[in-house]
Structure 1
Amino acid sequence: MSELKKFQVQTARPLPIIVLADTSGSMAVDGKIEALNKGLKDMIASFSSESRLRAEIQVSVITFGGSQAELNLPLTPAHQLQSFTPLVAEGITPLGGALSLASQMIEDSTRVYTPVVVLVSDGYPNDDWEVPFARLINGERSSKATRFAMAIGADADEQMLRDFANDPEAPLFRAENARDIHRFFRAVSMSVSARSQSATPNQSTPLLIPSADDQDWEF
């Protein structure tokens, strides 16, 4: 094995991005699920072209809709993702199950950079979510994760989402329409990309939301 190859193997560590996506029935109206799908697809596409010298961006999507939370996409290197299966909106909002899946994924991870966990929702949880929420916030490894949150529409549980987010620069993003959802995921993409290119990928980078009239932020 060449010295360069050895260096790359030793230094390129996973940078996990875990998206907790509300796919309850209310996401089917006003173009919300379509905007969420586009935001995720474009985010993954932007990650796939990033350099993997220091950090390899890996993406996971956990959905909470229907009757239970599901691991829609296991942690996978972004550059290996050729396509993204669109999410479908139906059923209730089992957030607790999604938080439990995310906690287990993070706690079971080894030799990874500090994860980024993104929570997007347009409603209130329908299951027992408080204990899994506390477990994620206070877990040995998950407590160190960077957490971003987006409230979609006027019916989202903003207090829960505000408690989830821990980015001092952007404690909670409110999306009023599909364009806002795109803006949020573009900001997440920029933040994660900056980390992956940094000399210190373990350190969080601010979530800088482009203004609504800034045309340069488009994917």
Structure 2
Amino acid sequence: MTARDRTSSRRFGRRALFFIVLISIIGAALLFTNGVGWPMTLTTFISGLTAAIGLDFTRQSSSQDPHRGVEIMGLVALIEENARTAVSSRLQGEPDDQTVSTITPALVAEGIWTSEDANEFRRVLRVRNSIAHSGPRSVTEKEVREAKKIADGLLAKLDRNGTSAAPISINERMPTILLVLCIDTSASIEGPRLNRLNEALNELAHSLQSVPLLANLVEISTVTFGSRPQVWRGDQEVSEEVENPFLAAAEYLPPTLFSAGSTSLGGALRTANRIIDARVKFLRSRGRRLYRPQLWVVTDGLPTDEWEAAADEIAAAQEMRKIVVYGVNLGRDERVRNVLDRLLPRHIYEVEEVDFSPILSILTDSIKSIW
């Protein structure tokens, strides 16, 4: 919504409130002059006033910008990145592994920030955490403005210390989460199960897009496997050699899946591993920060190709903390669980019908764990 649109909306809202109150007064007066008692007259007036208050609340809620907290997320991420650089010689271990509680005292000790600056940064963090945990509507526009002003000032102090990164957009300041859905579309996935799978993908897309933070952070690619692996960028099948098979969650439109053929799990795992590796290298070459990529493997049957070596590669990547793997055993077959176990997943979901709702909470928890 543009500034002009918001101004017009406010003017319309004020006029509507005025007319509702005016009509309530006139209606109450007419009732009283026609011999209706005070109780009914007062009830009519209060009903109109209640409607006006309800309209005003709705107008104010709808006028709030649901994306207003996104900039704070990016600013905090940039502060943390530059702060780690500023005190890296003082910190033990890799700078990227340091928490805010470790970095802030080091900044004060180095004379880059004052104790008051550290307290102000905690104010910004409270706003950021409130947005991350409860959504943008959990904070007021005034709180966001004040937090942004403080964050800009703290960044300026880091800039003077010579630690600032090259100017980049707000979205580029924010760490990215790569999400790959590796989904079995063999002939056994048919009928109601296939329908439910397509429904679950659409529900996932809607859920991610309803949370502005995740819509901005997450990039998704889908790898399906029947007789051969297929890579999808949104609802378009692409070659894995394309520049970027991932799509921002805000723009993600899931593919409509059809089932056929065998279960080429090994080929799908190798494909997923390659596209994750390529995207990670590309983003890092651009100076982007990343959370650990997530790979979700959904299957209901035993592999029909040479899958063991590919599974071991995924397990090794998991152990090296390059990715996080989750398995979905569709149908609860013990033999399928044994296959998924070889990937060393963080968790295996045993289900009869596909439900991607755990992805949303896990993505959110991933962000919280780093913040």
Q: TM-score, normalising length from structure 2?
A: 0.46
Matching residue's letter, 2:187: G
Q: What's the counterpart of residue 158 of structure 1?
A: 337
8 A Cα contact 2:328 2:349, kept in partner: yes
8 A Cα contact 1:11 1:54, kept in partner: no
Matching residue within 173, 195, 199 for 2:366 = 195
Matching residue within 181, 191, 210 for 1:19 = 181
Matching residue's letter, 1:173: Y
The answer to whether residue 237 in structure 2 is matched with residue 75 in structure 1 is: no
Cα 1:6–1:143, aligned 2, differ >3 Å: closer, same or farther?
A: closer
Unmatched segments (≥5 aa) in structure 2: 1-151, 156-166, 234-244, 285-289
8 A Cα contact 2:216 2:250, kept in partner: no
Matching residue's letter, 1:164: L
SS of residue paired to 1:71 = strand
After TM superposition, the runs of 4+ consecutive aligned structure 1 residues lying more than 6 A away are none
Cα 1:191–1:139, aligned 2, differ >3 Å: closer, same or farther?
A: closer
Which structure's residues are more often helix, by fraction?
Answer: 2
SS of residue paired to 1:157 = helix
Which structure's residues are more often strand, by fraction?
Answer: 1
8 A Cα contact 1:64 1:70, kept in partner: yes
C-alpha distance in structure 1 between counterparts of 2:188 and 2:345, whole Å: 26
Q: What's the counterpart of residue 259 of structure 2?
A: 89
The answer to whether residue 208 in structure 2 is matched with residue 47 in structure 1 is: yes
Q: What's the counterpart of residue 287 of structure 2?
A: none
For 1:100-138, what per-residue CA distance to the aligned partner results, in whole angstroms no more than 9, with x for missing partners?
111111222233320011011000000011111112221
Which structure's CA Rg is the greater one? 2
C-alpha distance in structure 2 between counterparts of 1:33 and 1:158, whole Å: 20
C-alpha distance in structure 1 between counterparts of 2:266 and 2:202, whole Å: 25
Equivalent pairs counted in the alignment come to 188
C-alpha distance in structure 2 between counterparts of 1:137 and 1:72, whole Å: 23
Offset at residue 32 of structure 1 (A): 1.3
Q: Give the RMSD, CA atoms, in angstroms.
A: 2.8
Offset at residue 12 of structure 1 (A): 1.2
Superposed counterparts of 1:47-196, under 5 Å: 47-52=208-213, 56-65=217-226, 67-73=227-233, 74-81=245-252, 83-108=253-278, 109-110=280-281, 111=284, 112-139=290-317, 143-155=321-333, 157-167=336-346, 171-176=347-352, 178=353, 181-182=354-355, 185-196=356-367
Unmatched segments (≥5 aa) in structure 1: 202-219
SS of residue paired to 1:164 = coil
Matching residue's letter, 2:197: L
Matching residue's letter, 1:98: A
For 1:125-168, what per-residue CA distance to the aligned partner results, in whole angstroms no more than 9, with x for missing partners?
0001111111222149975311111111154611011232532x
Name which structure has the greater RCO, CA cutoff 8 Å, separation 6+.
1
Q: TM-score, normalising length from structure 1?
A: 0.75
